[in-house]
Amino acid sequence: MNANLRKEERKLLYYVAAYLAVGVLALYLGDPELNSGTYELALNSGASLPFWWFVILLSLGTMVAFWLISLFWRLAGFQCDPFLMPITAALTASGLVFLFRLRPQYAERQFAWLLIGLLALLLVTTVFRKLDELADYKYIYVAAGVVLLILPIFFGNEQYGARSWLDLGAFQMQPSEFVKVLLVLFLASFLAENRRMLTTGSHQLLGINLPGIRELGPLVAMWGVSLLILVFQKDLGTALIYFCTFLAMIYAATARIFYVLVGLLLFFLGGTAAYHIFDHVQARVDIWLNPWPLMGGKGYQIVQSLFALGSGGIFGSGLGQGLPQLIPAVHTDFIFSAIGEELGLLGACGIVILYMCLVFRGLMIALWAGNDFSALLAAGFTALMGLQTFIIIAGVIKLLPMTGVTLPFISYGGSSLVANLVVLGLLLNISHEVNQGNEKQY
């Protein structure tokens, strides 16, 4: 069975390699003069390469890294889902092509972070295969998460309006990306342990069954943590992702819409208060409601994003033929705008479909999981990636206020890439348990 799974996986990786090759070729044919000459390697200031050799080597290195992991899993008898890694590889390849196009120096850094993330993926799928053991450390996750969230408040750097970065000298880290992993681990463990009480309740209020304070405590705590992040780190996106992931997990555990409604009400009240008290929250909302009067200042970024998406039309201007560089931070928060401009509506929809496939596979793994903890863990990680994708794309197209989170696997961002590959590894571990226990063919 494992040989068949890995064979299917490698077959899909061949298609991803062809997709990446076509992207690089289209970029070259679109403008062979683009960054012509030599490229100074940032990781080794004394070395340089012809630019297109630099692009080819990084592209080959990316695919070889994915193939080697698939080969290792085959030799190790790892029976994981064969579709998740090719989907991830396709998204990563898309991100690299656009980073080559937009900011080659960031493509090099992203490649380095990708190698670190793939190493973390390999370690997770090797060391943490017995997921039940992870359920015993839920309060350690809480303690570690609180420390990681507090550190940027006192020692962090402010970037793009959010104080959520730690400067570690050689590189910068965004602790909130790793706190998301700890959050899902804690909630999966807590909800699996208290699922029955949360569903049936032990008290009645106005005819509604409610659990005790011990079970309701995390709901109030998550509301408070989300607001603290919003207030002190000015990070609206992370606060929204944390809270929405929590609501998705508690609904998956109990199937009670009451908790979702109460949670949304609490977040709305807290967000309304923050809007009237803090200027940075009010600025984000005002830009969302009507950016046009502010297009010469704070609204410039979202206005340029809308122009880029509109000029792309259905088929796009062509890879390398648009003007996405007019958008500030286009390689991070607004990379989806660059995709929409140069690949058009069809290309943007293709990226969205890849994310939908990722979410679908994650939910199927959650449905097939053999115990409550694994099922909630898979549902939580899937909701985490799906919600983050929705929130950033909705911000780019002005459906929601801009939040400043990264597009998973595509946007430039080392912390995000490594954290998402750790999430992928834990999802693959759950699918390995499913295949071992039920002999399901994916």
User: pLDDT at position 64, please?
Assistant: 96
User: pLDDT at position 441, please?
Assistant: 46
Which structural domain, as residue segments, surrounds residue 116?
2-127
Q: Do 153 and 275 have their domain in common? A: yes
Please say if the pLDDT value at position 207 is more than 70.
Answer: no
Shortest CA distance to 367 belongs to which of 441, 426, 430? 430
Other C-beta atoms closer than 10 Å to the C-beta of 334 total 26
User: pLDDT at position 210, please?
Assistant: 62
Q: Do 188 and 262 have their domain in common? A: yes
Amino acid type, 135: A
* Weakest-pLDDT range from 33-37, 351-355, 409-413, 421-425: 33-37
**Number of folded domains that form the chain:** 2
Q: Do 161 and 101 have their domain in common? A: no
User: pLDDT at position 257, please?
Assistant: 86
CA 250 to CA 337: how far, in whole Å? 33
Last residue of a domain, one of 68, 103, 127: 127
Q: Do 88 and 162 have their domain in common? A: no
Phi/psi region, residue 404 (left: phi>0; alpha: psi -120 to 50; beta: rest), is left
Give burial (CB, 10 Å; 0-12/13-18/19+) of 208. exposed
User: pLDDT at position 378, please?
Assistant: 96
CA 268 to CA 255: how far, in whole Å? 22
User: pLDDT at position 212, please?
Assistant: 61
CA 92 to CA 418: how far, in whole Å? 12
* Coil/strand/helix, residue 210: strand
Q: Do 70 and 175 have their domain in common? A: no
Q: Do 98 and 187 have their domain in common? A: no
DSSP state letter for 230: I
What rounded mean pLDDT belongs to the chain?
85
pLDDT tier, 67 (very low <50, low <70, confident <90, very high otherwise): very high
Cα 392–chain centre separation: 10
Please say if the pLDDT value at position 161 is more than 60.
Answer: no
Angle between helix 279-289 and 257-277 (nearest 10)? 110
User: pLDDT at position 403, please?
Assistant: 77
Please say if the pLDDT value at position 442 is more than 50.
Answer: no
CA 390 to CA 396: how far, in whole Å? 10
Percent of the chain residues past pLDDT 70, beyond the cut: 83
User: pLDDT at position 59, please?
Assistant: 94
Q: What is the pLDDT of residues 293-340, one digit of tens each?
A: 888 888 888 999 999 999 999 999 988 888 888 888 888 889 999 999
| Mean pLDDT, residues 13-21 | 96
User: pLDDT at position 412, please?
Assistant: 92
Q: Give the dihedral sign, CA 440/375/128/416.
A: positive
Q: Do 195 and 119 have their domain in common? A: no
Q: Do 118 and 146 have their domain in common? A: no
User: pLDDT at position 440, please?
Assistant: 47
- Range among 56-70, 184-198, 212-226 rated most confident: 56-70
Q: Do 305 and 374 have their domain in common? A: yes
Q: Do 138 and 276 have their domain in common? A: yes
Q: What angle do CA 5, 9, 15 make, to 5 degrees?
A: 150
Please say if the pLDDT value at position 28 is more than 90.
Answer: no
Q: Do 290 and 201 have their domain in common? A: yes
Question: What are the two backbone dihedrals, phi and then psi, of residue 407, each rounded to the nearest 5 degrees?
Answer: -80, 115
User: Is the pTM for the entire model greater than 0.85?
Assistant: yes
pLDDT tier, 393 (very low <50, low <70, confident <90, very high otherwise): very high
Q: What is the pLDDT of residues 110-138, one digit of tens each?
A: 999 999 999 999 999 999 888 888 888 88
pLDDT tier, 223 (very low <50, low <70, confident <90, very high otherwise): low
Please say if the pLDDT value at position 78 is more than 50.
Answer: yes
Percent of the chain residues past pLDDT 90, beyond the cut: 43
* Weakest-pLDDT range from 214-223, 378-387, 397-406: 214-223
Element (H, E) at 53: helix 51-76
| Mean pLDDT, residues 171-190 | 86
Q: Do 170 and 116 have their domain in common? A: no
